[in-house]
A and B are shown apart, each in its own frame.
Chain A
Amino acid sequence: MGREMAGGQKQPSSATSYTVEQLVAVNPYNPDILPDLENYVNEQVSSQTYNLDANLCLLRFYQFEPERMSTQIVARILVKALMAMPAPDFSLCLFLIPERVQMEEQFKTLIVLSHYLETARFRQFWDEAAKSRHIVEVVPGFEQAIQAYAIHVLSLTYQKVPRPVLAEAINLEGLSLDKFLEHQVANNGWKLEKSSSRGQLVILPQNEFNHPKLKKTTAEIVPLEHVTRIFPILG
């Protein structure tokens, strides 16, 4: 259950983006790369990739030189950060954005959306997101990323989840939900079960968080470096 499942955002791999990563590594405090980083945000949006370090670096430059800030770029970074849930990236970005900027309408909306996700209120989240299509829909893959986060939280919590609870969390119902479930059953080890009381139950794959027995008995691992300390004695 690594970060890659959170939204299915890949790390960029094309040759050009590799250059930007290098730029950030070599010039983390050189504002000359600001335009490159802005282009890179747009590239992340269009190619459905994600690079937190580069985006934080850009927000840092905005923090140092507020007059160069583009709120449109900031909004895109924040949407991408929402898509990286459950990682705390959205807060990491907010820590760097001055309060008066956060007062702008589009940022207030994004903060509300983040609040709903942080408190697992998916119904409210999807309602609010529907009202704010102009902000989130410019970023491809948004819905899928949030669904992936919802499934992540559900899998931490449930062994068996009632179908309506799942439906609400991922904002799918009827036929599209059937199709989605079919896909999960075929590919990701989900199972369906008839519950006596209220219709269908979805059995989520077991993991160490929803299934205590799978919790790794923290077998004691002693790193080699620690053992090397006694090598001279053993010799």
Chain B
Amino acid sequence: MATSYEYEEGHQHSSAPDSVGYDPNFVPDSVKSFVVHLYRHIREKNVYEIHQMYETSFQTLSERMFKDVPWPSVDAVAPYVDNDHVFCLLYREMWFRHLYARLSPTLKQRIDSWDNYCSLFQVVLHGVVNMQLPNQWLWDMVDEFVYQFQSFCQFRAKMKNKTEQEIATLKQYDQAWNVYGVLNFLQALMEKSMITQILEQEKEGLEQFTATDGYDYNGGSNVLKVLGYFSMIGLLRVHCLLGDYHTGLKCLQPIDISQQGVYTIVIGSHITTIYHYGFANLMLRRYVDAIREFNKILLYIYKTKQYHQKSPQYEQILKKNEQMYALLAICLSLCPQTKLVDETVLSQMREKYGEKMLRMQRYDDEAIALYDELFSYACPKFITPSAPSFEEPLVNYNQEAYRLQLKLFLYEVKQQQLLAGVRTFLKVYSTISLGKLAAYMEVDESTLRTILMTYKHKTHTVDSEGKVISNAELDFYIDDDMIHVIESKPVKLYGDYFLRQIVKLEGVMTDIDRIKLE
């Protein structure tokens, strides 16, 4: 079992909080000013300023004053913001997020954070929120909600070193981070927001959502709508964590990922969407779909990553980038489709995994070990959603879910292991008899027939509509006992390219029109 599989538990600092000198009730002037201004901007619906304070000031203050201590408690800041209920919920959400990122939360804090999400989402679901919040913030809420759920499941699954106190607390608060609760919140946000219908209506031109980046310019609130939108991505991720790839992809269906959308505005959401979409398709053996989307996003990250260097998400972006290269390497090893991949991405991938990919083509244990290594490095942090049985001897079961997914994946790899060999031979022939190929491959003819049929079965997938689709770059058919090889020539598609250029040209001409010559 690969050792590179680490849990994100306490992913920044695992040291205990430096409580010396930390007084949760002391509010420094800079924090006073921060909450007062943030509160005012929220009331005035000044999304631009909110975004600045959220993205920049909060990070700067955290870096300067709360590097390894929590922010002041919500009760201490409440008087400066009229004790505003919703603002306090938002503040606490950020408070916990900061705590999770920089310290390690106690069990009690995990449970309190769950309660805070419940209150926050209930307020949103009851439609009493009339503010506009930046997409980045709303994405971070959904993202953090799912992360804390995953983190809680991992934490709970390590039963061995739990104190009696902790076990009693776990039993007492068995609803905290309950998997039904988590899924139902995401589902409720999605349904209540009517986001699926909004996206449908937008296609018919009856509604605007993507065009306004999800914001509401008619005085309404964007919070429920956008939370509902991001919840679909949250659901995709939760289902992937549970190993339910089919349902995960179904949850994402209302979002057309072949086009830009609100999900591409926030880099974190863009990456999370494609990473899980690609991974789910890899597990469903729809390699071409996975390759296509990995290629697009890896190219995008390659071109834009310098703009995110100062972002708090930069480290996460780089990590997911590396993981997606590993997943792409797996996909291309199982389903060579290099024509689908951009030169830049291809050369990056070869630099990282070129040598490993060569060895993955072989039919031996080392190849399997490499698939194991790459999968373990790049897979999501699978979880066991059920509560432990407190009666039995307490054992850690935090790796169980991961081991199962890994085992089933390697099972698939083993079923495909002979296919690389067939591919090599078929590449150099236009026709070859079964007998001759069997001799080359050192198998008997009937075994060869099963290998060739396996090749066909594994390279043809059933898509979400039940249609059979070929994923093979190299295909063949058998006539009696003669194999005929077909090399597919990719057809260049120009339509989309021209459409994009037309729009671009129009933009340039509008710009030129605006120039006034003195």
Question: Which A residues are closer than 8 A to B by beta carbons?
Answer: 1-4, 6, 28-31, 52-53, 56-57, 60, 63-66, 86-88, 91-92, 94-96, 98-99, 115, 118-122, 153-154, 156-162, 165, 195, 201, 208-212, 215, 217-218, 220-222, 225-227, 229-230, 233
Asked if A95 and B243 make an inter-chain contact with CB atoms under 8 angstroms apart, the answer reads: yes
CA distance A143 to B506 in the complex (A): 61
Does residue B468 face the partner (Cβ distance < 8 Å to A)?
yes
Does residue B21 face the partner (Cβ distance < 8 Å to A)?
no
Does residue B242 face the partner (Cβ distance < 8 Å to A)?
yes
CA distance A156 to B458 in the complex (A): 11
Assuming A95-B408, A157-B452, A229-B503, is B486 touching A212 (CB within 8 A)?
yes
Give the B interface residue count (CB, 8 A): 61
**Min distance, Cβ B309 to any Cβ of chain A, angstroms:** 32
Residues in A whose Cβ lies below 8 Å from that of B502? 230, 233
Asked if B499 and A226 make an inter-chain contact with CB atoms under 8 angstroms apart, the answer reads: yes
**Min distance, Cβ B188 to any Cβ of chain A, angstroms:** 10
Asked if A99 and B468 make an inter-chain contact with CB atoms under 8 angstroms apart, the answer reads: no
CA distance A89 to B467 in the complex (A): 14
Q: Please, what's the 1-or-0 string for B422-461, where 1 marks a CB less than 8 Å from any CB in chain A?
A: 0000000000000000000000000001111110111011
Asked if A159 and B479 make an inter-chain contact with CB atoms under 8 angstroms apart, the answer reads: yes
Does residue B184 face the partner (Cβ distance < 8 Å to A)?
yes
Asked if B475 and A99 make an inter-chain contact with CB atoms under 8 angstroms apart, the answer reads: no
Q: Scan residues 445-494 of chain B and give those whose CB is less than 8 A from a CB of chain A.
A: 449-454, 456-458, 460-462, 466-468, 470, 475, 477-481, 486, 488, 491, 493-494
Question: Which B residues are closer than 8 A to A by beta carbons?
Answer: 179-180, 183-184, 187, 203, 242-247, 250, 259, 283-285, 385-386, 400, 403-405, 407-408, 411-412, 415, 449-454, 456-458, 460-462, 466-468, 470, 475, 477-481, 486, 488, 491, 493-496, 499, 502-503, 506
Asked if B478 and A60 make an inter-chain contact with CB atoms under 8 angstroms apart, the answer reads: no
Asked if B467 and A209 make an inter-chain contact with CB atoms under 8 angstroms apart, the answer reads: no
**Min distance, Cβ A66 to any Cβ of chain B, angstroms:** 6
CA distance A196 to B479 in the complex (A): 14
Residues in A whose Cβ lies below 8 Å from that of B285? 88
Residues in B whose Cβ lies below 8 Å from that of A91? 283, 408, 412
Residues in B whose Cβ lies below 8 Å from that of A230? 499, 502-503, 506
CA distance A211 to B494 in the complex (A): 27
**Among B184, B449, B451, B506, which residue has its beta carbon within 8 angstroms of that of A165?**
B449
Residues in B whose Cβ lies below 8 Å from that of A88? 284-285, 461-462
Asked if A92 and B493 make an inter-chain contact with CB atoms under 8 angstroms apart, the answer reads: no
- Chain B interface SS verdict (over half): helix
Residues in A whose Cβ lies below 8 Å from that of B404? 95, 98-99
Asked if B468 and A118 make an inter-chain contact with CB atoms under 8 angstroms apart, the answer reads: no
**Min distance, Cβ B423 to any Cβ of chain A, angstroms:** 15
Assuming A64-B179, A119-B415, A220-B493, is B475 touching A86 (CB within 8 A)?
no
Residue of A57, A94, A195, A221 most packed against chain B (CB within 10 A): A94
CA distance A29 to B244 in the complex (A): 13
CA distance A6 to B457 in the complex (A): 13
Residues in A whose Cβ lies below 8 Å from that of B467? 1-3
**Among B184, B457, B478, which residue has its beta carbon within 8 angstroms of that of A86?**
B457
CA distance A165 to B449 in the complex (A): 9
Asked if B477 and A159 make an inter-chain contact with CB atoms under 8 angstroms apart, the answer reads: yes
**Min distance, Cβ A218 to any Cβ of chain B, angstroms:** 5
Q: How many A-B residue pairs have CB under 8 A?
A: 161
Residues in A whose Cβ lies below 8 Å from that of B184? 29-30
Asked if B386 and A220 make an inter-chain contact with CB atoms under 8 angstroms apart, the answer reads: no
Assuming A4-B466, A119-B415, A229-B503, is B283 touching A158 (CB within 8 A)?
no
**Among A63, A64, A94, A98, which residue has its beta carbon within 8 angstroms of that of B408?**
A94
CA distance A121 to B203 in the complex (A): 47
**Among B244, B480, B496, B499, which residue has its beta carbon within 8 angstroms of that of A96?**
B244
Asked if A60 and B244 make an inter-chain contact with CB atoms under 8 angstroms apart, the answer reads: yes
Residues in B whose Cβ lies below 8 Å from that of A66? 386
CA distance A157 to B478 in the complex (A): 6
B459, closest chain A residue (CB): A156
Asked if A64 and B385 make an inter-chain contact with CB atoms under 8 angstroms apart, the answer reads: yes
Residues in B whose Cβ lies below 8 Å from that of A195? 480
B488, closest chain A residue (CB): A215
Residues in A whose Cβ lies below 8 Å from that of B247? 28, 53, 56-57, 60
**Among B243, B494, B503, which residue has its beta carbon within 8 angstroms of that of A220?**
B494
Residue of B243, B412, B457, B494 most packed against chain A (CB within 10 A): B457
Residues in B whose Cβ lies below 8 Å from that of A53? 246-247, 250
Residues in A whose Cβ lies below 8 Å from that of B499? 222, 226-227, 229-230
Assuming A60-B244, A96-B242, A120-B450, is B494 touching A153 (CB within 8 A)?
no
Assuming A52-B246, A118-B454, A165-B449, is B462 touching A209 (CB within 8 A)?
no
Closest 3 CB pairs of A and B: A3-B466, A120-B453, A95-B243
10 pairs of residues in contact across A and B, judged by CB atoms under 8 Å: A1-B467, A6-B462, A29-B184, A64-B180, A92-B245, A95-B404, A118-B415, A160-B479, A209-B470, A222-B496
